[in-house]
Amino acid sequence: MKRFCIFFLAISMIIVGALPVAAAVAELSIGIVGPMTGPGAQYGESMKEASLLAMNHINNSGGINGKKVVLFMEDDESNPSKAVSSMQKLITSDRIAAAVGHYNSSCTLASMGITQRAKVPHLCPISTAAAITAGGNPYIFRNCATNPMQVGQLADWAFKNLSKKGQTTKVAVLYENTDYGTGIMEIFVEKVKNNPNWELVANESYNPGDTDMVAQLTSIKGKKPSVVLIGGNLTEGAQIVRQSKEVDFPVQFLALGGLSNDRFPQLAGVENVEGIINVSYFEKESPNPLAQKFVESYQIAYGKDPDMFAAATYEAVDIIAHVAKGLGADSWKDITKLRQSITAGIAALKELPGVQGPTTFDSNGQADKLVYIVRWENGKRVVIFP
């Protein structure tokens, strides 16, 4: 019996020794997912550059209490299926502690279930679809204004400043057939329906990657609107503006943040963008000292100004790092504990200073962020509100 007990103890020790032991986390691994190639590559470039800049700033300042920040980049190609597989790789293979992404709302909506099931904190710095923070997902946090915030403020400004006394203002919408574009259209249409002095006369769509919008523009032109809202992104938006001139359709264009990019005049033509009004949630002229430091650092690193997508991504990485710095040793015992601790820390943030202003997340993970309204003048964006 004694020999049997010794044998059993030895076997037990071998089995226990063979079981995997949770390893302490030696670095802060963050996954960055965006369109590094494809139709949204310019946005992925902003995300990549900004996140690398944030990583270098943090690591050069001592890291996370001596631990390095490490980034894992993935290309979602603006494709929801690729977004899902990219996020799965980051979680299972790269074992990230937190994720930042995506650009496209459709990609975020597709992948956020993956991060939720894995209990990985997911910062969304750019995607604006309202549904992202409307489903009670405790692992999703967004540090940019939603479609309702942006469209609502733009519509209210237009109602006040583009209406003509005693006349009905005719308006049309030309939107991208995606979650992002459809959301913009629906919110704007509802705002117009509730304004007796504005009338929706046309509502047309296009697909991402389309290069010929002449048919839609010709149809809209026939309805004689004085205002057209573009609900889409940079490349197609530039085509719409350029082709509106080709069909001799002078109109006041409104747009969302997709056109708030320094490349817009290059793609559409400087003379063609004159007077276009769109929203932005970051401008380099911001008096915020953190914003000014970020702009200066970005210019030194890349020889150009950052756009609002770069600012939002930089801030997202900084939010994760700030929370990680405040964690005790117990949180770093294994990746599961670290993910849980970062999630709780982000949810508890109150007025954290950042390049886009202070950040506090509500119970749905949504931050209340400032929206600028800008007008293109001589190839540059000029803030006209607030």
Cα 111 from chain centroid (whole Å): 14
For residue 6, is pLDDT > 80?
no
Q: What is the pLDDT of residue 17?
A: 45
Grouping H, G, I as helix, E, B as strand and the rest as coil, residue 150 is helix
Yes or no: say if 284 and 305 are a contact pair by the CB < 8 Å rule: yes
Same fold flag, 28-145+286-370 and 148-280: yes
Yes or no: say if 10 and 300 are a contact pair by the CB < 8 Å rule: no
How would CATH label the architecture of 148-280?
3-Layer(aba) Sandwich (3.40)
Record the pTM.
Answer: 0.83
Yes or no: say if 354 and 315 are a contact pair by the CB < 8 Å rule: yes
For residue 21, is pLDDT > 80?
no
Q: What is the pLDDT of residue 22?
A: 59
Per-residue pLDDT averaged across 38-53, rounded?
95
> What would the pLDDT profile of 224-234 be if each residue is shown by its tens digit?
999 999 999 99
Q: What is the pLDDT of residue 151?
A: 95
Of 263, 258, 254, the closest CA to residue 280 belongs to: 258
pLDDT band at 14 (very low <50, low <70, confident <90, very high): very low
Q: What is the pLDDT of residue 13?
A: 45
For residue 15, is pLDDT > 50?
no
> What would the pLDDT profile of 73-107 be if each residue is shown by its tens digit?
999 999 999 999 999 999 999 999 999 999 999 99
Q: What is the pLDDT of residue 96?
A: 98
> What would the pLDDT profile of 198-235 be if each residue is shown by its tens digit?
999 999 999 999 999 999 999 999 999 999 999 999 99
Spatial distance between the Cα atoms of 125 and 257, rounded to a whole number of angstroms:
13
Of 44, 46, 95, the closest CA to residue 74 belongs to: 44
Q: What is the pLDDT of residue 164?
A: 87
Q: What is the pLDDT of residue 314?
A: 98
Of 315, 341, 313, the closest CA to residue 327 belongs to: 341
Number of H helices, E strands in the chain: 13, 12
In the chain, domain spans: 28-145+286-370, 148-280
Spatial distance between the Cα atoms of 95 and 66, rounded to a whole number of angstroms:
20
What backbone torsions phi and psi does residue 73 show, to the nearest 5 degrees? -95, 140
Look at the domain 28-145+286-370 and name its fold.
Rossmann fold (3.40.50)
